[in-house]
């Protein structure tokens, strides 16, 4: 079950499962949106996820 979200900057983040999506989202936030790292939770990310 592949998942994806589209970041506020337009970047598409994908993962094969919840854990991979969360890891990829954290990596993206850490590089491009460090101000969001402690603000966006795993639950926030998974709530936005769409199944591909």
Res. 1 pLDDT band, cuts 50 70 90? confident
Domain ranges of the chain: 3-51
Evaluate if residue 23 carries a pLDDT over 90: yes
Which token pair is 25?
């989202």
Confidence (pTM): 0.91
Res. 17 pLDDT band, cuts 50 70 90? very high
Residue 3 has a CB neighbour count (10 Å cut-off) of: 21
Q: What's the average model confidence in pLDDT over 8-24?
A: 97
């Amino acid at each position: 079950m592949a998942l994806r979200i589209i970041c506020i900057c337009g970047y598409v983040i994908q993962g094969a499962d919840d854990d991979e999506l969360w890891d990829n989202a954290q990596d993206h936030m850490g590089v491009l949106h460090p101000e969001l790292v402690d603000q966006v939770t795993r639950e926030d990310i998974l709530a936005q996820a769409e199944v591909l």
